Amino acid sequence: MTYQGSKSTIPKAKVPLDIIIVGGGLGGVTASIALKLAGHNVTLLEQAEQLGEVGAGIQIPPASTRILHTIGAYEYVLEKSMIPNNVRVFRWQNGLQLSSQNLVPTTQNEYQLDYLHIHRADYHSALVKRANEVGVDFKLGSRVSEIDFELSSVFCANGNVYHGDVVIGYDGIKSFMRSAILKRSDPPYNTGDMAFRALVDIEKIKGNPELQKLFAEPNINFWWGPDCHIVIYLLHGGKTINIVILCPDNLPEGVSIMDSSKEELKQMFKDWDPNLLTLFDLIHETKKWKLQNSKRITHLDTRNRKCDNFGRRIHDLLKITEKLRKWRSTQIVQGSTKCRDIFHLPDGEAQTRRDAELTEGLPQLGCPNRWADKKFRDFLFDYDAFAEAERGWNEYNQGSAPTYFVDQLYRSAL
C-alpha cells in the first residue's frame, strides 16, 4: 500500500539528550521510537519482567496511523491488523440497522490513511520490534521507587539508578511519575462504568447463517441501548471476534478486574438482540474491568533546576505543548463521554430523535454517529501531531503564542 497521507518527518536534534522513559506500554514505546529517531539516547524503564499488553482489541484511527508511518512502524502494525469497511449501528432490542458510515474507501480518499483494528498484544509487539530496530535501550524489571528531579535521576526497586537530562512518564493511569511531579497522591477515579471483554473463534459461528452474515466482512458493529453499548469487530485476519461491552459498574469496591462468565452476560442482556445472545453463548472466558480516569492537571510545569541552564525555552516549550495538546486531548476525552451519553439513551423521546437522525437525517454537526459528522471526523482523523508541533515551535520562534482550537466542535444536545 502506498502511503501519501503525511509528509511529516522527525528532524534530528542539534543537541542529543539522554532521555529516560518510565513505562513500556503503547504510549511509552511509541514515544521512545520517535525520540530515538530524533537522535536522542533513550532508556525505557518497565516494571514487568517481560514486555507485553493485556486486554483485547484496539482501534487505530487515521491520525494514529499517520504517526505509525512517521516513526516507521506502520508496516509491522499492518501485518497484524484488520481494515474495517464501515461503522454500523444497530438497535439494541432487535438488531435493526440504524446507520452505516463508510470507512473504506472514505479514510483513504479523504485522509490518504487507513483505520485499523488490532489486538493490543500484537500492536505492542509491533512497536517493540520497531523500538529494538532503532536502538531503544529497554530495562525490564525496573519498578521506579524514587525520582530526584534536581538531578534527573530515577531510582528503581532493584537498586539500579539511571541518570538523564529528561525523565518522561508513560506509566499509566496509576502513574508514579504523576504523583511525584504533583508532590501528592493522585489516584484515578471511578467513572461508574465497567467493560466486559471477550474473544470468540470465528470457526464457532459456522452453521449459524445470521452470525455468518453479520461477520461476513470486517466492520465496526455497535449496538446502542439503555445504559449500555456493545462494540464488536474482527481481529487476527478475521479469525477472531472481539467483543467489548460498556455498562454500569458492578465490581466490588477496590476491585479493578475480575473473571466473569457468559452466563452473567446472557442474564444482563437477555432482552437484547438474539444474535448477541447466540454469540455470547460461544464465549469461553471473559473478564470485566472497572473503567477509571485521571483528573485533569491544571497546568504543566518543570521540576528541575537544570531547566534554568536552558533559559526560558524549556519552560516555554512546556507552555507550547500545553496550548497545542491540552485543549485537544480534553475535547477527545469529553467527546468520549458525550458519545457514551448518546449511545446509552433509554428508550423514549430523546432516543427516538437520535434514531431518526441516524436513519433519516443527513450527516451534520452533532450527528449521533460521530464518524458521520464531517467536522468532528476531520478533527479526529486529519490531525498531524508532528506537523502541529513544528508549527507551534516555528510560531514561538517568530514571537507569537501558538494555540490549537476548533470552533463549534459539538452541538449542545440532540
Taking 50 as the threshold, does the pLDDT of residue 30 lie above it? yes
Q: Give me the percent of the chain exceeding a pLDDT of 90.
A: 64
> Is residue 254 exposed (0-12), middle (13-18) or buried (19+ Cβ within 10 Å)?
exposed
**Given 3-state DSSP classes, what are the helix, strand and coil percentages for the chain, each rounded to the nearest 5?**
35, 25, 40
CA 270 vs CA 57, 94, 208, 247, 265: distances in Å: 24, 12, 19, 14, 8
Taking 50 as the threshold, does the pLDDT of residue 73 lie above it? yes
CA 219 vs CA 276, 280, 372: distances in Å: 16, 18, 15
The predicted-structure confidence for 333-346, as pLDDT tens digits, reads as follows: 888 888 899 999 99
The predicted-structure confidence for 77-118, as pLDDT tens digits, reads as follows: 999 999 999 999 999 999 999 999 999 999 999 999 999 999
Domains of the chain: 16-61+117-187 (3.50.50.60), 189-293 (3.30.9.30)
The Cα 82–Cα 78 span in angstroms is 8
Taking 70 as the threshold, does the pLDDT of residue 325 lie above it? yes
Mean pLDDT lowest for which of 199-208, 209-218, 326-335?
Answer: 326-335
Could you tell me the pLDDT band of residue 163, with boundaries at 50, 70 and 90? very high
Could you tell me the pLDDT band of residue 221, with boundaries at 50, 70 and 90? very high
Q: Quote the pLDDT of residue 303.
A: 56
Q: Quote the pLDDT of residue 1.
A: 35
Task: Give 294 or 205, the one with higher predicted confidence.
Answer: 205
Q: Parallel, antiparallel, or unpaired for β 166-169 and 18-22?
A: parallel
Task: Give 72 or 315, the one with higher predicted confidence.
Answer: 72
Task: Give 79 or 254, the one with higher predicted confidence.
Answer: 79
Report whether 273 contacts 95 (CB < 8 A): yes
**Which cell goes with 100?**
452505516
> Is residue 343 exposed (0-12), middle (13-18) or buried (19+ Cβ within 10 Å)?
buried
Reply yes or no: is the peptide bond before residue 187 cis, omega within 30 of 0: no
Taking 50 as the threshold, does the pLDDT of residue 349 lie above it? yes
Taking 70 as the threshold, does the pLDDT of residue 365 lie above it? no
Q: Quote the pLDDT of residue 401.
A: 82
